[in-house]
Amino acid sequence: MEAAKNSVVLFHYTVTEQGSSEAIDTSRERGEPLAVLLGHGGLIPGVERALEGRKAGDRFEVTIAPGDAYGERRDDATQRVPKKFFRDADRLRPGMQTVLQTTDGQQRVVTVSKVGMSVIDVDMNHPLAGKSLNFDLEVVEVREASEEERAHGHVHGPGGHHH
Ligand code: ZN
């Protein structure tokens, strides 16, 4: 079957920055493909669109502009955050990435720009913001989502949630 909104797609991916051959992230090292319920915001928009209409066995590459990936870089995105909001404040150094819990309960990857006595300055831009990304994608399986998966908005079982 062809991948569409509300189908479950299991796929392997390797991401590189456009013009580079070094993998930023790949599912192939982990061995297990990523499982995603299409149409529920689990993927960046460019990858979601690239998977639509594909079938098991399809392997292809797409280049995705920042607007369909992690967004454009903003120059005014530095914020000063009290150390208590970091789980790992003591080990953070400039240039390191960490995860910050935002007030609406979301997790956000940020980059440390300066470490003070009681506060840390972080760059709120996603590390991949402003970058065009190349995805090497290989569809392993496409299947219908169960009613429960559609209700939860995510995949259950291998590569997905276990609960
Ligand atoms: Zn669930």
The pLDDT of residue 79 is above 80: yes
The pLDDT of residue 41 is above 90: no
Alpha carbons 157 and 13: distance in angstroms, whole number: 19
CATH for 98 = 2.40.10.330
Q: Residue 22 has which token pair?
A: 């070094």
10 Å Cβ neighbour count for 73? 14
What is the Å distance from ligand 1's center to 149 Cα?
6
Asked if 26 and 63 sit in the same domain, the reply is: yes
What is the Å distance from ligand 1's center to 152 Cα?
5
Asked if 18 and 96 sit in the same domain, the reply is: no
Reported as a pLDDT band with limits 50, 70 and 90, residue 69 is: very high
What is the Å distance from ligand 1's center to 19 Cα?
38
Asked if 46 and 89 sit in the same domain, the reply is: no
Asked if 137 and 118 sit in the same domain, the reply is: no
- Secondary structure letter of residue 147 according to DSSP: H
Alpha carbons 112 and 12: distance in angstroms, whole number: 30
Residue type, 143: R
In a domain, 2, yes or no: no
Q: What is the pTM of this model?
A: 0.80
Pairing of strands 119-123, 107-115: antiparallel
Contact (CB, 8 A) for 40 and 161:
no
The pLDDT of residue 106 is above 80: no
pLDDT attached to residue 157: 87
What is the Å distance from ligand 1's center to 96 Cα?
33
Contact (CB, 8 A) for 43 and 72:
no
Residue 54 structural domain: 7-70+130-152
